[in-house]
Amino acid sequence: MKTANFLKIFTLFLAIGITSCTTESTDEGGGNDGANGLVLTASKTRVYNFTSVTFTVNDGNSDVTSSAVISVDGTPISGNTSTMTGLGTKNITAVVGTDNTNSLDVVVIEPSFTTKALIEDYTGAWCGWCPRISQGIIDVHNSTNGENVIAVAVHNGDSMAFPLEAQMRSRFGVSGFPTGILNRDADWSAVSGSSMDITQPMALLNTTKSVGLAINSSLSGSSVSATIKVGFDFDTTGMKLVAVLVENGKILPQTNYTNNWGGASTISDFEHNDILRAAFTDVFGNVIPAAEQIGGSEYSVTLSASVPSGTNTADMDVVAFVVDDSGKVVNVQKAAVGVNQDFD
């Protein structure tokens, strides 16, 4: 009996000892740590070509980057910052003394999306100075790459008035007509009573954007259905999607105080375009789920909007844009209803 109890106790201690040794072995060097818990991290792991990336090495207690030799694709760099050149995946390693860190990859990509800009034109058929911005939009569109500047006309006090115009005007500080808002961030400047500063919106096309959009829509009865995709080159946060329906080709009289259109006081056959008619989303944006704002991925959503009576359904566009957490437009896309506009 005593011998049997002794064997049971011995077996129990042996099992505990084996389990303890296994657990300790798993903890040592766990995760991506290198020898002695050295951890190599990067300020960015997905970048455009010719972007600088800074690397840091930590031993679990302190920053030991100054003692590390960091290599990109096996070639040591000077210091801890390197400009990533050449598309593809770069393998980063580091050594502190004789101890290796973990390795990590930095992916180098080209920009995926064309940069576009938004003009929101606060206007009205009664507004004599409003043809100044109408002419300015025409002048922009006639400029090289001007098709990448997209207009939305927010009407006040006429038969084309948008129901939420007052809320939008209040949010963006519009105190008079006409007012042009660029990318929901800046007022568009005039250079005279009849013309706008064309260089101002065109300059917005010079910045690379890491977010792009695609639109595919269709009309059924009095409803437009639109599938909108948002693509991300890099991880982002705080983005919202705005999508609206605009109407083109509506011929109605326009009061005119400018020298444009021959200087006529009333332009009887004025063609109103880009008229904001309906919204697929909140006019200030629907939140894009955080889990969808991942570099190299796409967010897709299908939305619908009712077409107001009297709308010229033969010539309508869907305009979709992404705004950041400050409300500023990041990038914008436009597609005629019934046309599949892919990322560009």
- Per residue of the chain (344 residues), what is the pLDDT tens digit? 434 443 343 443 334 343 333 333 323 333 355 667 999 999 999 999 999 999 999 999 999 999 999 999 999 999 999 999 999 999 999 999 999 999 999 999 999 999 999 999 999 999 999 999 999 999 999 999 999 999 999 999 999 999 999 999 999 999 999 999 999 999 999 999 999 999 999 999 999 999 999 999 999 999 999 999 999 999 999 999 999 999 999 999 999 999 999 999 999 999 999 999 999 999 999 999 999 999 999 999 999 999 999 999 999 999 999 999 999 999 999 999 999 999 99
Backbone angle region of 88, left / alpha / beta, with phi > 0 → left and psi within -120 to 50 → alpha: left
Same structural domain, 314 and 185: yes
Same structural domain, 101 and 178: no
Q: pLDDT tens for residues 42-61?
A: 999 999 999 999 999 999 99
70, 43 Cβ separation under 8 angstroms = no
CATH of the domain at 327: 2.60.40.10
How much is the pLDDT for 30?
Answer: 33
Same structural domain, 337 and 319: yes
Same structural domain, 217 and 317: yes
DSSP assignment of 97-162? TTEE---EEEEEE---S---EEEEEEE-TT-TTTHHHHHHHHHHHTSTTGGGEEEEEEE-SSTT--
338, 217 Cβ separation under 8 angstroms = yes
Same structural domain, 43 and 172: no
Domain count, the chain: 2
Same structural domain, 147 and 42: no
Same structural domain, 46 and 188: no
Q: Is residue 19 part of a domain?
A: no
Same structural domain, 222 and 132: yes
Q: Is residue 270 part of a domain?
A: yes
Give the chain's length: 344
Same structural domain, 279 and 312: yes
How much is the pLDDT for 14?
Answer: 37
Same structural domain, 152 and 81: no
Q: pLDDT tens for residues 274-290?
A: 999 999 999 999 999 99
Same structural domain, 40 and 74: yes
User: 18 CB contacts (<8 Å, ≥6 apart)?
Assistant: none
129, 177 Cβ separation under 8 angstroms = yes
Parent domain of 70: 35-109
Among the candidates 50, 82, 109, a domain finishes at 109
Same structural domain, 49 and 133: no
How much is the pLDDT for 102?
Answer: 96
How much is the pLDDT for 24?
Answer: 32
Rg (CA), the chain: 30
Q: Is residue 25 part of a domain?
A: no
* Single-letter amino acid, residue 44: K
Cα dist from 130 to 156, 178, 197, whole Å: 11, 5, 15
Among the candidates 56, 89, 109, a domain finishes at 109
Q: Is residue 294 part of a domain?
A: yes
How much is the pLDDT for 339?
Answer: 97
pTM listed for this prediction: 0.86
How much is the pLDDT for 34?
Answer: 64
Among the candidates 109, 133, 164, a domain finishes at 109
Q: Is residue 12 part of a domain?
A: no
Distance in angstroms (rounded) separating the CA atoms of residues 215 and 322: 13
